[in-house]
Chain A
Amino acid sequence: MGDFINIFIKSAFIENMALSYFLGMCSFLAVSKSVKTALGLGVAVVFVLGLTIPMNWLIDYYLLGEAGFFKMDLTFLRFIIFISTIAALVQLVEMVVEKFSPSLYNSLGIFLPLITVNCAILGGSLFMITKEYNFVQSVSYGLGGGVGWALAIVAIAGIREKMTYSQIPAPLRGLGMAFLLTGIMGIAFMGLMGIDPAAFK
Chain B
Amino acid sequence: MAEVHEITKKETVFSFGKEEKKLLSDPINDNNPITVQVLGVCSALAVTTLVDKAIVMGLAVIFVTALSNLFTSMLRSYIPKQVRMIVQLVIIAFLVTIVELALKAFNYTIWKELSVFIGLIITNCIVMGRLEAYAMANSPWKSFLDGIGNGVGYSIILVIVAAIREVFGKGSFLGFKIIGPTAEYALNTTEISWLGWYTANNLIILSPAAMFIIAIIIWVHRASNRKLIDIS
Which A residues are within 8 Å of any B CB, using their own CB?
A: 20-26, 29-30, 76-80, 83-84, 87-88, 113, 116-123, 126-127, 130, 169-177, 179-180, 182-184, 186-187, 190
Contact = CB atoms under 8 A, between A and B. Distances in A.
B110 interface: no
B208 A123 contact: no
Contact of A76 (B97, B128, B209, B220): B97
20 contacts: A21-B46, A22-B46, A23-B120, A25-B45, A26-B38, A26-B40, A29-B41, A76-B97, A80-B90, A80-B94, A84-B89, A117-B128, A171-B218, A171-B223, A172-B219, A175-B218, A179-B211, A186-B206, A186-B207, A187-B206
Contact of A183 (B86, B208, B226): B208
A136 to B, nearest CB: 22
A122 B208 contact: no
Interface of B is mostly: helix
Contacts of A173: 229-230
Contact of A180 (B89, B215, B232): B215
Interface in B177-232: 206-212, 214-215, 218-223, 226, 229-230, 232
A59 to B, nearest CB: 14
A78 B97 CA distance: 9
B122 interface: yes
B137 interface: no
Interface residues of B, number: 48
Contact of A176 (B85, B120, B218): B218
B90 A183 contact: no
A28 to B, nearest CB: 8
Contacts of A187: 206, 208
Contact of A179 (B40, B101, B123, B218): B218
B101 A76 contact: yes
B93 interface: yes
B98 to A, nearest CB: 10
Given A24-B42, A175-B230, A186 B208 contact: yes
Contacts of B100: 79
A183 B39 contact: no
Given A30-B38, A174-B232, A121 B223 contact: no
B230 A183 contact: no
B116 interface: yes
A20 B207 CA distance: 7
Contacts of B43: 119
Contacts of B119: 78-79, 122, 126
Given A30-B38, A130-B116, A173-B230, A22 B219 contact: no
Given A25-B41, A182-B211, 16 more contacts: A20-B207, A21-B46, A22-B45, A76-B101, A78-B119, A79-B96, A80-B94, A123-B120, A126-B116, A130-B115, A130-B116, A171-B229, A175-B35, A179-B212, A183-B208, A183-B209
B116 A127 contact: yes
Nearest to B230: A174
